[in-house]
Structures are given as C-alpha cells and as structure tokens.
C-alpha cells in the first residue's frame, strides 16, 4: 500500500493522540504532521491536501467543523476526515466533510481514507 506524497494535517487537542497518529500513520508511509490547537491549524491549512480533525476540538467556540469548512474554502480539492468520539454514526455529514470516523480510530480504515484522498 503506497500512500507516500500526500501531506496530511492531523488536529487534536490530545497530545498522546497526536504523537500516536504521527507514529502509526508514518509506519504506513503517510507524511502526517500534527498540531494541537485550532489556531495552529489555521496557520498551516494551505500546505495540506488532507485534513484529519477531531470534531470535539474546542477553543473559544471554534471546533473541527469550522476548521473543516475553512480548509475547504482554501482547498476546494482537499479531503476532510472528521473524527468524533460522540458516537454519532448516523449523523449527517456536512458538505465540507468527505468522511466521518468514530473513535476509537480503526487504523486500516484511516489508512484507506488517506488512500482515497490521494486518488481523489
């Protein structure tokens, strides 16, 4: 499975999750950078083709949905993977979100989503 060359930004306010995702996705050839705040993400959104963000990310009324919308405005061809711990499997996916995953993250499913993004 070759998914090298796709730049992925992972946004989560949990340090352990950021470190783990960088390590695990790196083992699958994914160039994944992690940031821990909404504001950090906004500064670098334009550098990435794929955004993986935690819906629950919360800071002063800002969250993963807003970040996904901003990303799609900058990169209409970008691919957004929304991650949530709320367990809303049947929730409608907003137009700026390509796919939604429920925590805990299934690594093979996440890798497949990045593959799909590369092909898009």
Q: pLDDT tens across 52-101, in order?
A: 998 776 555 688 889 999 999 999 999 999 988 766 555 556 788 999 88
Give the pLDDT score at 7: 87
User: Is 21 within the bounds of a domain?
Assistant: yes
Give this prediction's pTM. 0.88
User: Is 60 within the bounds of a domain?
Assistant: yes
**Torsion sign (Cα): 4, 24, 116, 68:** negative
User: Is 24 within the bounds of a domain?
Assistant: yes
User: Is 1 within the bounds of a domain?
Assistant: no
User: Is 74 within the bounds of a domain?
Assistant: yes
Q: What total number of domains does the chain contain?
A: 1
User: Is 2 within the bounds of a domain?
Assistant: no
What letter would DSSP give residue 29?
T
Residue 1 has pLDDT above 60, yes or no: no
Give the pLDDT score at 91: 55
More confident position, 33 or 4: 33
User: Is 55 within the bounds of a domain?
Assistant: yes
Sort residue 86 into left (φ over 0), alpha (ψ -120 to 50) or beta: alpha
Instruction: Output the domain CATH number for residue 44.
Output: 3.40.50.2300
Mean pLDDT lowest among 33-37, 48-52, 90-94, 107-111: 90-94
By C-alpha distance, which of 9, 22, 31 is closest to 79? 9
User: Is 49 within the bounds of a domain?
Assistant: yes
By C-alpha distance, which of 109, 55, 99 is closest to 78? 99
Mean pLDDT lowest among 6-10, 88-92, 100-104, 106-110: 88-92
Residue 84: give the domain boundaries: 7-119
């Amino acid at each position: 499975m070759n998914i090298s060359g796709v730049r992925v930004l992972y946004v989560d306010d949990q340090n352990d999750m950021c470190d783990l995702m960088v390590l695990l996705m790196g083992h699958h050839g994914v160039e994944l950078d992690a940031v821990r705040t909404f504001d950090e993400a906004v500064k670098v959104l334009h550098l990435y083709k794929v955004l993986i963000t935690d819906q629950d990310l919360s800071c002063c009324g800002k969250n993963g949905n807003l970040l996904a919308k901003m990303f799609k405005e900058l990169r209409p061809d970008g691919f957004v993977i929304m991650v949530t711990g709320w367990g809303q499997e049947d929730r409608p996916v907003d137009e700026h979100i390509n796919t939604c995953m429920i925590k805990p993250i299934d690594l093979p499913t996440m890798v497949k989503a990045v593959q799909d993004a590369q092909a898009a």
